[in-house]
Amino acid sequence: MLIDSHAHTTDAHFDADRQEVLNRAFSSGLKYILEVGCEPPLWDKVAELSKQEKIYSMFGLHPQDADKFNEELFNKLKSLLSDKKCVAVGEIGLDYHYEGYDKQLQKELFVKQINLALEINKPICVHCRDAYDDMVEIFKTFKQLPKGVIHCFSGSYEQAKVVVDMGFLIGIDGPCTYPKSNKLKRVIENVSLDKILVETDCPYLAPQLYRGTRNEPSYVVEVAKKIAEVKCVPFEDVCNITTNNTIKLYNLENS
């Protein structure tokens, strides 16, 4: 039994066969899917999808959309976060990968959404790309941080250790299966299994077996298999422990 702790099945890539994809995931043994709403145009679609059994939601404003922030959007976000099937604020964070984004605007929005998570007592799902140092510096400004996960972790083991010591979990995705992902494999090898979540981030980052095609929630099993291989532990242990980690972080059994 596994949980895809980070999926985007409301993405247009699934418009032709979304329900079939979801049915396939649950038929393959997934316990839950956590659907992420980080783009305002898809928020309502995510809320509607999460009405289905075994699907939970989270909502936030992605750093690449920081320039779209306004009070009207923020008020809608707060309303969505109050839904009983919504388990977290996310994905939120920093992304300096592309040119042309306002770093200061991203930082301000990130802080605002962390504060919102603290206010409503929900965990955060953090997106960080090419912005690790600034993310950590922001975390250090808080006397108290929400629980949370650094989603789709792509940093070094040393960086992973810092955020794990701050109380965060690490989200592992399809790239761990790629032949040249030695840095990520070192993270997996050295971070305790009780600090790891498994994700797909579908439709992106398909595992090696499906590389070049659309990713989907059922493929999260490939991530779990690779973690088991790298850590030299039984596949069943990876399933059980990461599932329990996700349930505990997001309080799923009581949502």
**Res 254: pLDDT:** 62
Radius of gyration, CA atoms only, the chain: 17
d(CA 213, CA 4): 18
Domains within the chain, CATH numbers bracketed: 2-254 (3.20.20.140)
d(CA 93, CA 79): 20
pLDDT tens for the chain, 255 residues long, are 999 999 999 999 999 999 999 999 999 999 999 999 999 999 999 999 999 999 999 999 999 999 999 999 999 999 999 999 999 999 999 999 988 889 999 999 999 999 999 999 999 999 999 999 999 999 999 999 999 999 999 999 999 999 999 999 999 999 999 999 999 999 999 999 999 999 999 999 999 999 999 999 999 999 999 999 999 999 999 999 999 999 999 999 764
The distance in angstroms from the start CA to the end CA of the chain is: 19
- Report which DSSP code applies to 192: -
Give every CB contact of residue 245 below 8 A, 6+ residues apart in sequence: 169, 194, 195, 196, 197
Structure tokens at 111: 């802080």
Q: Is the whole model's pTM more than 0.85, yes or no? A: yes
**Res 199: pLDDT:** 98
**Res 253: pLDDT:** 76
